[in-house]
Amino acid sequence: MCGNNMSAPLPAIVPAARKATAAVIFLHGLGDTGHGWAEAFAGIRIPHVKYICPHAPTMPVSLNMRMSMPSWFDIYGLSPDADEDEAGIKRASENIKALIDQEVKNGIPSHRIILGGFSQGGALSLYTALTTQQKVAGVVALSCWLPLRKSFPQAAANSTNKDMHVLQCHGDADPLVPFIFGAQTAEKMKSLINPANITFKSYRGLPHSACPEEMIDVKRFLEKQLPAISDE
119 in active site: yes
In the set 93, 119, 143, 159, the catalytic residue is: 119
Q: What is the DSSP letter of 44?
A: T
Distances (CA, A) of 97 to 22, 44, 129, 202, 205: 16, 25, 9, 29, 35
Residue 174 catalytic?
yes
**Beta carbons of 17 and 45 less than 8 angstroms apart:** yes
Separation of alpha carbons 125 and 113, rounded Å = 12
Residues composing the chain: 232
Cα(170)–Cα(200) distance, rounded to whole angstroms?
8
- Annotation marks residue 93 as catalytic: no
Instruction: Say if strands 22-27 and 113-118 run parallel, antiparallel, or are unpaired.
Output: parallel
Residue in 28, 55, 170, 208 annotated catalytic: 208
> What residues form DSSP beta bridges with 59?
69
Find the DSSP H helices in 53-153. Answer: 86-105, 120-131
Q: How many helices (H) and strands (E) does the chain have?
A: 5, 9
Name the β-bridge partners of 14: 51
> 137 near 229, Cβ under 8 Å?
no
Catalytic member of 28, 55, 143, 174: 174
> Which residues have a catalytic role annotated?
119, 174, 208
